[in-house]
Amino acid sequence: MKRFSDSLRLLFGGAGRKPAAEDFSQAALDLHAHKRKPEETKARVAAIREELESGHHLGNKWRFRRWASIVFWNALFVVSFYFDIQLVEGSLSASRLVGFHMADLNASLQVMLAFKEVLINLAIGSITVFLLWWFFGGRTFCSWVCPYHLLSEWGEKLHLMLAAKGLVSDHAFDRRMRTVLYVVFALLAFGTGYTVFETINPVGILSRAFTYGASFALFWVGLLLLIEVFYSRRFWCRYACPVGLTYGIVGSVSPTVINYNLENCLHEGECRKVCLVPHVLDVTKKSYATGLNVSVGADCTRCGMCVDVCPTEALTFKIKGLDKLL
């Protein structure tokens, strides 16, 4: 329960902190003590040096799989519309997949608050999507389906290139801003009777633009990308997007997780360098893991980039309850 509450605290923007002594299992305490021995520290440092020199930390397998997934699901909308095959209709905000209603959870909340009623098709679509992303891990939507996420990743790569040349620097915001905006947009929908957030939601804007054509709203998406390239790395996803927060709440109880194995970890920190939401990997720091196997927190997007760069398989995908059967 303590791990779950800490996971939600980080999701809602709370600061990371080192666990208290009573939070650790005895096995974890013993292993942390073992790793602090001089001979073990020397061996670990040598292993890290060998890893960095070998380039084993430079994998991109899961990244390319994600990019292919994002392109595929968004192209499916376009192909279905232009060839009128009615496989997928609508956009990522609300759609029908071979006749089954699908509705983005945050968009559904906005509509229900705005109209003060629960529409049956919207309820069916919301429940379907909830169950889908409950299983796969809520924020899996962000890294495996969201079109803005792909653009933001490319923007981040450009930001890092410019930062390496000293042309830009990253400006961090308080992560609690995302929670505040979640409440603000919910209140605006309820008070105005209008889904205010959907007018600026880059996910819906891009999804509709791909299928039905460009609109002036794309200038807003372009502005967000400029902010992320030149001022604040991954600004929208990390500090503003209520969609990510909504799916993070769903993912807090998901069986699909990134599992951290303390025994295998070298604590070199490469995983935190590539992580899209690095605060969820505080568990990989020395003397932070409270158990031998710990699930990475609710804000994790299950992007797999940490799995790619970990040569010792300290970070792996796991489906709780099924892992022993696979």
Judge whether residue 90 has pLDDT over 60: yes
Residue percentage of the chain with pLDDT more than 90: 65
Q: At 90, is the secondary structure helix, strand, or coil? A: strand
CB neighbours (10 Å) of residue 246?
22
Q: How far is CA 165 from CA 169, 227, 230, 232, 234, in A?
A: 10, 18, 13, 16, 19
Residue type for 264, please?
N
Q: Does residue 324 register a pLDDT over 60?
A: no
For the stretch 215-231, pLDDT in tens is: 899 999 999 999 999 99
The more confident residue out of 85 and 240 is 240
Instruction: List the one residue out of 254, 248, 250 whose CA is nearest residue 279.
Output: 248
Residues 297, 282: Cα–Cα separation, whole Å: 10
pLDDT digits (tens, 9 = 90+) for 154-189: 999 999 999 999 999 999 999 999 999 999 999 999
Token pair listed for 319? 């489906």
Cα–Cα–Cα angle for 129, 131, 132, rounded to 5 degrees: 60
Single pTM value for the model = 0.90
**Does pLDDT of 54 surpass 80?**
no
Q: What pLDDT is stored for residue 326 in this prediction?
A: 42
Give tens-digit pLDDT for 118-166.
888 889 999 999 999 999 998 999 999 999 999 999 999 999 999 999 9
Q: Which comes out higher in pLDDT, residue 252 or 321?
A: 252
What are the sequence ranges of the domains in the chain?
2-56+255-319, 62-249
Mean pLDDT of the chain: 90
For 32, the token pair is 């942390």
Q: Could you read off the pLDDT of 94-108 as tens digits, one per residue?
A: 888 887 888 999 999
| pLDDT at 323 (0 to 100) | 62
Residues in the chain: 326
Find all residues with CB under 8 Å of 5, minimum gap 6, and list them: none
pLDDT of 79: 92
% of the chain beyond a pLDDT of 70: 97
Q: What is the pLDDT of residues 251-301, one digit of tens each?
A: 999 999 999 999 999 888 889 989 989 999 999 998 899 999 999 999 999
Longest dimension (CA), the chain: 67
